[in-house]
């Protein structure tokens, strides 16, 4: 009937068999090509780079990516699942540089751009076999035969077309701006790249430079009376290397500033005992109290800067009175050619100055982050470091001798300490200490970034900022808070996209500039370039350096391409269009496959791929405005985001919650798990352990727990059905009306239909965590621990009642059990298919296709189960839940009393919460009696009290709340009506108690309840439900308990003898006393339970198996052999 199923199973071996089946039958291709009545469901693959081995963080993203397409395919959609490879960019270049031992861009140019890019191209697929093997092994179905590759000319050409469409609308432009720049790689980074590299708790200098003010102006302004003593404007910075680029000091016009007398600078070489925190005064600064200096800073900052009582306020004035006050610089910087410094070294007013930290005086370096401020106030520009982050030779102290600067060529971060120390020695620094704060690094290689004023090319995303925000509202984010939180915040603070890169291996920026730089052109296609050059360029590699050699004449001028590549995030954001070589091919395909219905990546992609997709789609589908042309795709889609649904994934950490790293030795190789626990257990753990966005703890042991808890429970249930069905050969194709089945079967049918409904709802809501947990709870608790355990006897070929009387249950009852369990497992296999594709396929192949060969060839080609609302019996499920709750209490009462479940008891007393529950429980009384092994059930009134109660305060909850009133509260409880409190708790009501003349309202959780049972009873109560067992045992009950224990020992002997479950035996039992007497009374029961044709009360000769055990101190010799009689 079914293929035999062993109780022990190696899931990795099973999964490899399924992989072979899928490949042999070409199941994935069939899943894409078969009829799809619901049309397309569009999935975008976020392209990985295969220049490194995949890790467990790649497994989680691919597991989540695979789930939804499988689910939607079963629902009747066509999901193409086109793969892709991200092949350009800095990560690839850095990998090649590392192999070649290069440390700077000049190394690349000396080696040759062509040679370097060739190595980059070769490296991008260095580990493609590892990626393909991992994807295949975890069951990630992806069309890699037709994958898009970002380095191909067709992909680059589509990117050019997109660029030109933005150029023609005035949205692609060059500008001189402050841009985050990586000195190691000598290239700009976009804001969304920078956002991925911020590091917290970075230690940097915290220094207070003293800028000498021009005394003549101070006297004229009546800020000082004479010029006998120098006055310093005190600023604050964490970047001493920028002080040589200082051109102004900014203050707030509406803030109050002061002239203060305080001790002079720290002695050279000394520092605070502890790090500065945004201007907090040093506790143990070594100063000469007799030496005083005059300082100008914000009044609100004086205490924090000088320390309380360590200064004297001589005069106060508004910030406006400082406007245009001139001062002397404290370091020389590099002066750009033609730069006029006449407007520099003066105080300006600006509202962006804050007095929450520092001194309330902003050090302005227009070349390093303050360019907009400089333009606003017509300030000049000085430089201190170059684009490689090296200090210029011009940077030196004002009185430094002619010659080499001690800072020349020093990396900017390394120069901080020496510059600060030298200024301190010159008395031009008030304090030098450290601070811990957040600072941006290159997220690819960890290089500290510089906010550098330079030329770059930008996409004017700020022009569609409102559209970006509006389109975000159209996206279903999972979890939802990302929409208005992390992603929404990013959009609300949108800045123009710095899209050019001063690198080599990437799509070339398609801008050609005339030799006199008066004209520029953006090229949108290879044909356009051919027309301009008059050459056949069909064989041209569009990468550098070959594209750099392409020039053309126009308007009597020679045009040459700018030496930039395109931000790789632009390339990945262009994949909806470039993967189809749109618009040069596949116009109809794009319309059918845009936007995506579903994407999925890690949470850091909110500033990466999610943003680039969103920004480009918004720009391209923009319907325009009176001052802005419509986007080039607005004729196809209007104001449309790139994706409709997105699951955002958290990061993976080890089982202790620590970040995985090779140095810690806590990195888990996914293959270790795949080869031992298997892909299904790994995937299921990733789905079910915590919501998608949470940080997931991961280890092989945690996956093993999932395997034991869920998969082995499912396997045992499945193998149980196969074992007994192969013995009985039931007709599982027959139709048994659900209404004619026993209550427990109807309950399981109801629960199964509710399961289909609930799992469907959760997967429709992109919530695989809850969906997988619902399935797990159903399989473990409802199906295995309740239904199968409760109904095992119905599946046995020879059945008997508990006292040995011939069982009158019909074969139809047994068939009903088979049919109910079979249908349930077949449905569970389909529900699990998107999440555990291997075991679900195995179960489907064996259970479904063995009986129904005309069904779909694979579970992944089968239709998603539909639930029948008419079969969901809410009242029956409620009644069974009540029964299970009472059973749980009854078992706990047995454990409290120390009475085993095999020992029958005379009576169970039950109380529930309502009359409806009471009536329902009475309908299931036989189940209740069997489950708790009691002879009778007595039902108490729902308002009846059976036990006495001791009420105590919940001290952890009430201790802080009541404080000194707690003793009075305890005293009140001693005389309070405990039953009133208990009744309030049952109904979820508060209890009002007067303390110290005031009424206090206490919720149910404020009390701890202990029940005291009457004599001969053990009762337990929870939330108004009560189960009480009568523990008085008669001789007959004791004998029943004894015979049940004996049967357990006999069944264990059968198992130790490794007999088939249906094998008939001859049994020898040698014992004495009460055990022998009990065996004789219940002989027929024993025969039926252990499938014994004959029982002798002596040890058998030539037995196949023999053992001696003790039962209640009485020896019991068990011998058995296969029976020769049928």
DSSP characters over 121-151: HHHTTTTHHHHHHHHHHTT---EEEEEEETT
Active-site pick, 85, 161, 505, 609: 609
Residue of 661, 668, 720, 708 whose CA lies nearest to 684: 708
What is the predicted pLDDT for the residue at 288? 54
pLDDT tens digits along 925-978? 999 999 999 999 999 988 788 888 888 899 888 888 888 899 999 999 888 888
Q: State the binding site.
A: 662
DSSP characters over 342-393: TT-SEEEE-TT--SSSTTS-EEE-TTTT-HHHHHHTT----BSB-TTSBBPT
For Cα atoms 809, 812, 815, give the angle at the middle one, nearest 5 degrees.
Answer: 110
Coil, strand or helix at 781: helix
605 is known as an active-site residue:
yes
> Region 615-636: what's the mean pLDDT?
95
Domain range 25-157+570-677, CATH architecture: 3-Layer(aba) Sandwich (3.40)
659 is known as an active-site residue:
yes
Query: What is the CB neighbour count within 10 angstroms for residue 1098?
Result: 10
Given a cut of 80, whether residue 66 has pLDDT beyond it is yes
Cis peptide preceding 433, ω within 30 of 0? no
Instruction: Report residue 456 CA to chain centroid gap.
Output: 35
Residue with the bigger pLDDT between 34 and 341: it is 341
Contact 265, 271 (CB under 8 A): no
Active-site pick, 527, 659, 971, 980: 659
Candidates 2.40.160.60, 3.90.740.10, 3.20.20.70, 3.40.605.10; CATH matching 197-440 = 3.90.740.10
131 is known as an active-site residue:
no
888 half-sphere exposure, CB direction, 13 A CA radius: 12
pLDDT tens digits along 150-184? 999 999 999 999 999 999 999 999 998 888 999 98
> Where does the pLDDT of residue 55 fall: very low under 50, low under 70, confident under 90, or very high at 90 and above?
confident
Predicted TM-score (pTM) of the model is: 0.84
Given a cut of 60, whether residue 284 has pLDDT beyond it is no
Length of the chain: 1126
Q: What gap in Å lies between CA 613 and CA 941, rounded to an integer?
A: 64
Coil, strand or helix at 74: helix
- On average, the pLDDT of the chain sits at 91
Contact 1049, 1110 (CB under 8 A): no
Coil, strand or helix at 1059: coil
Residue with the bigger pLDDT between 279 and 1071: it is 1071
Contact 1044, 903 (CB under 8 A): yes
- The CA-atom distances, in angstroms, between 156 and each of 5, 513, 933 are 54, 20, 75
Q: What gap in Å lies between CA 645 and CA 476, rounded to an integer?
A: 5
> Region 821-833: what's the mean pLDDT?
98
662 is known as an active-site residue:
yes
Active-site pick, 167, 180, 490, 569: 569
pLDDT tens digits along 97-109? 999 999 889 999 9
Contact 541, 476 (CB under 8 A): no
Contact 303, 281 (CB under 8 A): yes
Query: Which value, to the nearest 10 degrees, does the dihedral of the CA atoms of residues 431, 433, 435, 440 take?
Result: 90
Contact 554, 512 (CB under 8 A): no
- The CA-atom distances, in angstroms, between 847 and each of 27, 75, 149 are 19, 21, 42
CATH of domain 696-861: 1.10.730.10
- The CA-atom distances, in angstroms, between 339 and each of 216, 334, 430 are 27, 10, 31
Q: What gap in Å lies between CA 618 and CA 640, rounded to an integer?
A: 6
143 is known as an active-site residue:
no
Query: Which value, to the nearest 10 degrees, does the dihedral of the CA atoms of residues 478, 480, 485, 486 take?
Result: 0
Q: Which of 507-521, 786-800, 995-1009 has the lowest mean pLDDT?
A: 786-800
Instruction: Report residue 741 CA to chain centroid gap.
Output: 44
Would you list the domain boundaries of the chain?
25-157+570-677, 197-440, 696-861, 884-1030, 1035-1122
Range of 849-863, 1000-1014, 1048-1062 with top mean pLDDT: 849-863
Coil, strand or helix at 1076: helix
Q: What gap in Å lies between CA 261 and CA 278, rounded to an integer?
A: 21
Sheet with 1114-1122: list strands edge to edge. 1092-1096, 1065-1070, 1114-1122, 1105-1111
Contact 1111, 1042 (CB under 8 A): yes
Q: Which of 16-25, 395-404, 507-516, 876-885 has the lowest mean pLDDT?
A: 395-404
Q: Tell me which DSSP letter residue 585 carries.
A: S
462 half-sphere exposure, CB direction, 13 A CA radius: 9
> Region 672-679: what's the mean pLDDT?
96
Active-site pick, 75, 80, 579, 605: 605
Q: Please, which residues bridge with residue 212 across strands?
A: 232
pLDDT tens digits along 221-276? 999 988 889 999 999 999 999 999 999 999 999 999 999 999 886 654 333 333 33
Q: State the binding site for ATP.
A: 662
Active-site pick, 662, 960, 998, 1124: 662
Phi, psi of 651, rounded to the nearest 5 degrees: -95, 160
> Where does the pLDDT of residue 290 fall: very low under 50, low under 70, confident under 90, or very high at 90 and above?
low
Residue of 82, 58, 54, 79 whose CA lies nearest to 69: 79
Helix/strand/coil percent split, the chain, to 5: 40, 20, 35
786 is known as an active-site residue:
no
Coil, strand or helix at 949: strand
Active-site pick, 66, 86, 204, 276: 86
What is the predicted pLDDT for the residue at 158? 98
389 half-sphere exposure, CB direction, 13 A CA radius: 23
Residue with the bigger pLDDT between 656 and 720: it is 720
Given a cut of 50, whether residue 333 has pLDDT beyond it is yes
What is the predicted pLDDT for the residue at 961? 86
Beta strand 552-554 with 557-561: parallel, antiparallel or unpaired?
Answer: antiparallel
Active-site pick, 12, 47, 54, 440: 47
Q: What gap in Å lies between CA 936 and CA 24, rounded to an integer?
A: 59
Contact 809, 830 (CB under 8 A): no
DSSP characters over 529-541: HHHHHTS--TT--
Q: Judge whether 25-157+570-677 and 696-861 match in fold.
A: no
Beta strand 937-939 with 907-911: parallel, antiparallel or unpaired?
Answer: parallel
Query: What is the CB neighbour count within 10 angstroms for residue 803?
Result: 11
Q: Which helix (H) or strand (E) holds 435?
A: strand 429-440
For Cα atoms 555, 560, 566, give the angle at the middle one, nearest 5 degrees.
Answer: 125
Coil, strand or helix at 1031: coil
Write the Ramachandran bin of 249: left for phi over 0, alpha for psi from -120 to 50, otherwise beta.
beta
Is 157 buried (19+), middle (13-18) or exposed (0-12) by CB count in 10 A?
buried
Sheet with 937-939: list strands edge to edge. 937-939, 907-911, 1025-1030, 1017-1022
Q: What gap in Å lies between CA 55 and CA 47, rounded to an integer?
A: 15
Q: Tell me which DSSP letter residue 863 carries.
A: P
Q: Please, which residues bridge with residue 86 across strands?
A: none
Q: Which helix (H) or strand (E) holds 315?
A: strand 311-318
What is the rounded end-to-end Cα distance, in angstroms, of the chain?
Answer: 23
Residue of 743, 742, 871 whose CA lies nearest to 810: 742
Coil, strand or helix at 837: helix
Phi, psi of 936, rounded to the nearest 5 degrees: -150, 160
390 is known as an active-site residue:
no
* pLDDT > 70: percent of the chain: 96
Query: What is the CB neighbour count within 10 angstroms for residue 393?
Result: 13
pLDDT tens digits along 686-706? 999 999 999 999 999 999 999
DSSP characters over 1013-1029: PPTTEEEEEETTEEEEE
> Where does the pLDDT of residue 662 fall: very low under 50, low under 70, confident under 90, or very high at 90 and above?
low
Coil, strand or helix at 1045: helix
Instruction: Report residue 766 CA to chain centroid gap.
Output: 13
């Amino acid at each position: 009937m079914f293929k035999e199923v062993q109780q022990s199973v190696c899931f990795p071996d099973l999964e490899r068999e399924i992989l072979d089946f899928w490949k042999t039958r070409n199941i994935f291709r069939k899943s894409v090509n078969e009829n799809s009545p619901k049309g397309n469901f569009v999935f975008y693959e976020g392209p990985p780079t295969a220049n490194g081995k995949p890790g467990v963080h790649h497994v989680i993203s691919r597991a989540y990516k695979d789930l939804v397409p499988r689910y939607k395919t079963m629902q009747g959609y066509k999901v193409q699942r086109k793969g892709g490879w991200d092949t350009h960019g800095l990560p690839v270049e850095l990998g090649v540089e590392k192999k070649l031992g290069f440390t700077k861009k000049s190394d690349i140019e000396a080696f040759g751009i062509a040679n370097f890019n060739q190595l980059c191209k070769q490296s991008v697929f260095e580990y493609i076999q590892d990626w393909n093997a991992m994807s295949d092994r975890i069951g990630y179905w992806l069309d890699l035969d037709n994958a898009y590759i970002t380095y191909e000319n067709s992909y680059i050409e589509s990117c050019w077309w997109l660029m030109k469409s933005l150029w023609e609308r005035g949205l692609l432009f060059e500008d001189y701006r402050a841009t985050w720049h990586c000195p190691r790689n000598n290239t700009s980074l976009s804001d969304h790249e920078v956002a991925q590299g911020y590091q917290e708790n970075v230690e940097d200098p915290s220094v207070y430079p003293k800028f000498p003010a021009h005394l003549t102006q101070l006297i004229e302004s009546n800020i000082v009376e004479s010029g006998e003593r120098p006055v310093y404007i005190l600023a604050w910075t964490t970047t001493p290397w920028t002080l040589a680029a200082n051109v102004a000091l900014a203050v707030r016009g509406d803030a109050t500033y002061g002239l203060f007398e305080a001790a002079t600078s720290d002695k050279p070489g000394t520092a605070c005992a502890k790090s500065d925190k945004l201007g907090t005064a040093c506790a143990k600064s070594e100063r000469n109290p007799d030496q005083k200096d005059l300082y100008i800073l914000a009044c609100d900052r004086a205490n924090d800067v000088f320390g309380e009582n360590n200064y004297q306020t001589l005069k106060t004035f508004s910030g406006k009175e400082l406007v245009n006050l001139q001062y002397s610089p404290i370091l020389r910087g590099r002066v750009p050619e033609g730069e006029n410094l006449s407007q520099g070294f003066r105080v300006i007013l600006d509202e962006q100055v804050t007095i929450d930290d520092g001194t309330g005086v902003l050090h302005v370096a227009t070349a390093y982050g303050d360019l907009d401020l400089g333009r606003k106030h017509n300030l000049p520009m000085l430089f201190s470091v170059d684009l490689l982050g090296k200090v210029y030779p011009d940077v030196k102290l004002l009185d430094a001798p002619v010659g080499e600067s001690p800072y020349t060529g020093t990396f900017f971060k390394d120069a901080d300490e020496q510059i600060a120390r030298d200024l301190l020695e010159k008395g031009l620094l008030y304090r030098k200490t450290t601070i811990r704060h957040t600072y941006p690094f290159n997220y690819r290689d960890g290089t500290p970034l510089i906010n550098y004023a330079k030329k770059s090319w930008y996409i004017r995303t700020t022009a569609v900022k409102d559209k970006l925000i509006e389109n975000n509202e159209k996206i279903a984010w999972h979890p939802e808070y990302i929409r208005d939180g992390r992603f929404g915040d990013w959009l609300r603070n949108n800045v123009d996209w710095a899209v050019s890169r001063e690198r080599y291996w990437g799509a070339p920026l398609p801008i050609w500039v005339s030799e006199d730089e008066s004209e520029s052109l953006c090229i949108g296609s290879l044909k356009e370039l051919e027309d301009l050059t008059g050459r056949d360029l069909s064989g041209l590699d569009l990468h550098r350096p070959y594209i750099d050699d392409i020039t053309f004449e126009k308007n009597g001028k020679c045009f040459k391409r700018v030496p930039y590549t395109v931000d790789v995030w632009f390339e990945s954001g262009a994949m909806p269009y470039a993967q189809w070589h749109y618009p040069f091919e596949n116009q109809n395909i794009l319309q059918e496959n845009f936007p995506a219905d579903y994407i999925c990546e890690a949470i850091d992609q909110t500033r990466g791929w999610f943003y680039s997709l969103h920004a480009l789609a918004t720009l391209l589908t923009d319907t325009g405005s009176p001052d802005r042309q419509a986007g080039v795709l607005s004729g196809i889609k209007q104001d449309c985001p790139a994706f409709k649904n997105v699951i955002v994934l958290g990061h993976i950490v080890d089982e202790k919650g620590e970040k995985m790293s090779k140095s810690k030795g806590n990195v888990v190789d996914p293959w270790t798990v795949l080869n031992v626990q298997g892909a299904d257990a790994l995937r299921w753990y990733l789905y079910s352990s915590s919501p998608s966005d949470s940080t997931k703890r991961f280890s092989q042991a945690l996956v093993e727990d999932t395997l034991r808890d869920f998969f082995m429970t499912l396997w045992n249930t499945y193998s149980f059905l196969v074992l007994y069905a192969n013995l009985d050969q039931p007709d599982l194709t027959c139709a048994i009306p659900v209404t004619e089945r026993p209550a427990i079967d109807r309950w399981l049918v109801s629960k199964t239909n509710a399961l289909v409904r609930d799992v469907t709802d959760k997967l429709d809501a992109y919530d695989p965590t809850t969906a997988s947990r619902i399935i797990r709870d159903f399989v473990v608790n409802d199906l295995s621990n309740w239904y199968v355990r409760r109904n095992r006897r119905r599946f046995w070929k020879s059945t008997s009642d508990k006292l040995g009387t011939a069982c009158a249950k019909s074969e139809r009852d047994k068939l009903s059990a088979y049919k109910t369990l079979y249908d349930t497992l077949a449905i569970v296999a389909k529900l699990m298919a998107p999440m555990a594709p291997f075991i679900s396929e195995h179960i489907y192949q064996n259970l479904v296709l063995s009986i129904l060969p005309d069904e779909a060839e694979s579970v992944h080609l089968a239709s998603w189960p539909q639930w029948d609302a008419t079969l969901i019996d809410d009242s029956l499920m409620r009644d069974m839940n009540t029964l299970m709750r009472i059973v749980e209490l009854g078992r706990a009462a047995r454990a409290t009393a120390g009475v085993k479940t095999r020992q029958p008891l005379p009576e169970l007393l039950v109380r529930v919460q309502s009359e409806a529950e009471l009536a329902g429980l009475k309908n299931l009384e036989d189940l209740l009696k069997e489950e708790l092994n009691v002879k009778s059930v007595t039902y108490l009134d729902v308002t009846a009290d059976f036990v006495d109660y001791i009420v105590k305060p919940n001290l952890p909850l009430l201790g802080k709340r009541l404080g000194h009133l707690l003793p009075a509260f305890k005293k009140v409880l001693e005389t309070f009506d405990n039953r009133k409190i208990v009744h309030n708790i049952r109904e979820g009501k508060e209890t009002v108690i007067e303390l110290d003349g005031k009424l206090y309202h206490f919720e149910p959780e404020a009390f701890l309840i202990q029940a005291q049972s009457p004599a001969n009873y053990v009762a337990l109560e929870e939330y108004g439900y009560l189960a009480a067992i009568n523990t008085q045992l008669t001789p007959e009950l004791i004998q029943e308990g004894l015979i049940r224990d004996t049967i357990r020992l006999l069944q264990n002997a059968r198992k130790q003898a490794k007999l088939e479950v249906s094998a008939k035996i001859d049994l020898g039992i040698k014992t004495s006393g009460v055990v022998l007497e009990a065996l004789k009374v219940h002989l027929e029961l024993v025969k039926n339970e252990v499938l014994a044709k004959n029982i002798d009360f002596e040890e058998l000769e030539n037995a196949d198996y023999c053992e001696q055990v003790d039962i209640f101190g009485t020896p019991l010799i068990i011998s058995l052999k296969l029976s020769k009689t049928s």
